[in-house]
């Protein structure tokens, strides 16, 4: 069971988040300012933090900054009452992973929590599991149906990136910038060559499909 720390000085909102997340089988801790949050973090294992910005004693920004300075990489979902670009920018600059503006839709909150925990698990384990297929980052290997296919590094990196965000479209340029570097002069159509090779090597894999989105790029779609 994942443990979530809610840091929110509004007692009613804190209780609402706690109730909703508990119903979804999360273990919830509550703090009402950054000082209380740090004390809980020192004594409990926390998988995800939901933090307001404006709080007494230690605010959300100071809390996140202190955690990141201490190399504490637990994902943070920041909540604010103001939809301000400057606040959004500052939050991401200091290490926030996601951002929501009040009033909060609790159903959306649960979906964001689920997504953040999934990404954190992938980052720690360096593995993605899709039904009967496993992508192992350390060995650049795709395991499926008692088979193991080792991909060249660039091919594996492209596939792993796409599989980390099912249904999300990544443009050729985005993939080029990440895996070849911003200064690369390699033609972005190189991505097409790599994707075609991935498809050929993994043509027997039935758990996902590597889909071309015409005019945009590529995405991974899970197969039911």
Structure tokens at 75: 């994902």
Rounded Cα–Cα distance for residues 186 and 116 (Å): 33
In this predicted model, what pLDDT tens digit does every residue of 104-160 receive, in sequence order?
A: 999 999 999 998 988 887 767 788 888 899 999 889 999 998 899 999 999 999 999
What's the DSSP call for residue 151? P
pLDDT given for residue 185 in this prediction: 74
pLDDT given for residue 77 in this prediction: 93
Do residues 54 and 60 touch, judged by C-beta distance below 8 A? Answer: yes
pLDDT given for residue 94 in this prediction: 83
94 lies in the same domain as 148:
no
pLDDT over 70, % of the chain: 98
108 lies in the same domain as 137:
no
3-state SS, 87-140, equals HHHHHHHCCCCEEEECCCCHHHHHHHHHHHHHHHHHHHHCEEEECCEEEECCCC
Domain boundary among 125, 149, 178: 125
Residue 100 maps to which CATH number? 3.40.50.2300
Dihedral sign for Cα 184, 187, 193, 195, please: positive
Surface-to-core class of residue 182, CB atoms within 10 Å of its CB (0-12 exposed, 13-18 middle, 19+ buried): exposed
pLDDT given for residue 89 in this prediction: 79
66 lies in the same domain as 14:
yes
63 lies in the same domain as 144:
no
Bridge partners of 183? none
Surface-to-core class of residue 161, CB atoms within 10 Å of its CB (0-12 exposed, 13-18 middle, 19+ buried): middle
14 lies in the same domain as 104:
yes
Structure tokens at 39: 């004390």
Angle between helix 190-201 and helix 153-164 axes, rounded to 10 deg: 90
Mean pLDDT to the nearest integer, 180-201 = 86
Residue 70: pLDDT band (50, 70, 90) is: confident
pLDDT given for residue 118 in this prediction: 84
Rounded Cα–Cα distance for residues 167 and 111 (Å): 15
Q: Radius of gyration over alpha carbons of the chain, in Å?
A: 20
**Number of independent structural domains in the chain:** 2
By residue range, what is the domain housing residue 97?
3-125
Q: Which residue has the tokens 């670009």?
A: 85
At residue 164, φ and ψ (nearest 5 deg) are -70, -20
Mean pLDDT to the nearest integer, 211-220 = 92
State the pTM of this model.
Answer: 0.61
85 lies in the same domain as 170:
no
On average, the pLDDT of the chain sits at 89
pLDDT given for residue 206 in this prediction: 92
pLDDT given for residue 216 in this prediction: 87
In this predicted model, what pLDDT tens digit does every residue of 74-104 receive, in sequence order?
A: 899 998 877 677 777 777 888 888 989 889 9
Mean pLDDT to the nearest integer, 149-177 = 91
Lowest mean pLDDT segment, chosen from 95-99, 145-149, 185-189, 206-210: 185-189
70 lies in the same domain as 117:
yes
């Amino acid at each position: 069971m994942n443990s979530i720390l809610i840091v929110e000085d509004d007692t009613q909102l804190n209780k609402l988040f706690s109730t909703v997340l508990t119903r979804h089988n999360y273990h919830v801790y509550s703090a009402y300012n950054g000082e209380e949050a740090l004390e809980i973090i020192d004594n409990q294992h926390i998988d995800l933090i939901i933090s307001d910005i404006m709080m007494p004693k230690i605010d959300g920004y100071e809390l996140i900054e202190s955690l990141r300075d201490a190399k504490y990489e637990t994902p943070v979902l920041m909540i604010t009452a103001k939809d301000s670009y400057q606040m959004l920018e500052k939050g991401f600059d200091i290490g926030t992973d996601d951002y929501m503006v009040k009033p909060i839709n609790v159903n959306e909150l649960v979906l964001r929590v689920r997504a953040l925990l999934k990404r954190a698990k992938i980052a720690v384990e360096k593995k993605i599991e899709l039904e009967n297929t496993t992508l192992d980052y350390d060995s650049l290997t795709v395991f499926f149906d008692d088979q193991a296919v080792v991909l060249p590094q660039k091919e594996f990196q492209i596939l792993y990136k796409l599989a980390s965000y099912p249904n999300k479209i990544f443009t050729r340029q985005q993939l080029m910038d990440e895996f070849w570097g911003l200064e690369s002069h390699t033609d972005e159509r190189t991505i097409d060559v790599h994707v075609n090779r991935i498809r050929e090597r993994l043509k027997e894999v039935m758990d996902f499909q590597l889909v071309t989105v015409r005019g945009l790029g590529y995405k991974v779609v899970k197969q039911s």
